[in-house]
C-alpha cells in the first residue's frame, strides 16, 4: 500500500510539472496596464513636443521606469489574487521572451541619441515594445500578442510620418493603447 501511495504522488508531481510547463502566463494586469497608459499621457505632457531636447528623453525614460514599477507591482498583486506562482515556468518563459527586446531597445536608444538621431527613437520604442509584448504574449492570453502587434504597427507607421507627428506617437501608443487594451484585459481576463 505504501508503494502505491508513493507511485501516485510521483504521478501527481509529474502531471503538475507537465501542466506548469504547458501553462500560460495569465498575470497580465488590466488595471495596471490602464495605470501605465495614464502615466504615459502625463509623461507626454511633461516631455513636450521637441524630441531633440534632453527633457523629452528624461521624461520618457522616467516614465519607462515608473511603468515598469507599476507593471511589476500589478503583476505581483494579480498573481497573488489568483494564487499563481511567479516562479512558475510560464512566468520565466514570458520574461525570457519579453526582456531581450526591451534590452535591445535600451541599447538602440543610447546609440540613436548619441548619434543625434532623435526622431526615430519614438517609433523604435513602439516597435521594440510591440515586439517584446508580442513575443511574451505568445505565452499569455490571446489579447496580449494582439496588443503587441498594435504597438508594432504604430511604431512602423511612425517611421513614415512627418517629424511633427513623432511626439504624439508615444501618447497614442503608450497612453491610449495601454488604456484601451488594459480595459479589455480587466474586463475579460480578471483585472
Q: Kindly state the percentage of the chain with pLDDT values over 70.
A: 87
Average pLDDT over residues 54-69: 97
**What is the pLDDT at residue 29?**
86
First to last CA, the chain: 45
pTM listed for this prediction: 0.84
Rounded Cα distance between 112 and 120, Å, is 8
Q: Say if CB 171 and CB 63 are below 8 A apart.
A: no
Q: Say if CB 122 and CB 170 are below 8 A apart.
A: yes
**What is the pLDDT at residue 1?**
58
Average pLDDT over residues 67-83: 87
Average pLDDT over residues 2-19: 60
Average pLDDT over residues 55-65: 97
46-57 residue pLDDT tens: 999 999 999 999
108-164 residue pLDDT tens: 999 999 999 999 999 999 999 999 999 988 878 889 999 999 999 999 999 999 988
- The torsion of the CA quartet 161, 166, 171, 174, rounded to 10 degrees, works out to 80
**What is the pLDDT at residue 162?**
93
Helix, strand, coil percentages for the chain (3-state, nearest 5): 80, 0, 20
The residue among 63, 64, 73, 27 whose CA lies nearest residue 185 is 27
**What is the pLDDT at residue 18?**
44
**What is the pLDDT at residue 22?**
44
Who's near 120: CB < 8 A, 6+ residues apart? 112, 159
pLDDT at 43 over 50: yes
Angle between the 143-158 and 121-137 helix axes, to the nearest 10 degrees?
Answer: 160
Per the prediction, the chain carries an average pLDDT of 87
81-99 residue pLDDT tens: 877 777 777 778 888 889 9
Q: Say if CB 12 and CB 165 are below 8 A apart.
A: no
Coil, strand or helix at 25: strand
Amino acid at each position: 500500500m505504501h508503494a502505491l501511495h508513493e507511485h501516485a504522488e510521483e504521478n501527481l508531481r509529474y502531471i503538475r510539472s507537465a501542466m506548469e510547463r504547458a501553462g500560460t502566463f495569465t498575470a497580465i494586469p488590466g488595471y495596471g496596464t490602464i495605470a501605465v497608459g495614464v502615466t504615459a499621457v502625463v509623461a507626454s505632457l511633461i516631455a513636450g513636443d521637441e524630441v531633440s531636447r534632453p527633457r523629452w528623453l528624461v521624461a520618457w525614460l522616467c516614465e519607462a521606469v515608473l511603468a515598469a514599477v507599476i507593471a511589476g507591482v500589478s503583476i505581483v498583486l494579480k498573481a497573488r489574487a489568483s494564487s499563481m506562482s511567479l516562479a512558475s515556468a510560464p512566468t520565466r518563459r514570458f520574461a525570457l521572451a519579453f526582456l531581450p527586446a526591451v534590452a535591445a531597445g535600451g541599447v538602440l536608444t543610447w546609440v540613436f541619441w548619441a548619434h543625434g538621431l532623435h526622431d526615430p527613437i519614438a517609433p523604435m520604442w513602439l516597435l521594440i515594445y510591440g515586439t517584446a509584448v508580442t513575443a511574451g504574449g505568445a505565452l499569455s492570453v490571446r489579447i496580449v500578442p494582439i496588443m503587441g502587434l498594435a504597438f508594432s504597427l504604430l511604431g512602423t507607421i511612425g517611421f513614415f510620418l512627418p517629424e511633427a507627428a513623432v511626439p504624439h506617437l508615444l501618447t497614442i501608443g503608450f497612453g491610449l493603447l495601454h488604456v484601451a487594451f488594459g480595459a479589455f484585459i480587466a474586463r475579460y481576463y480578471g483585472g
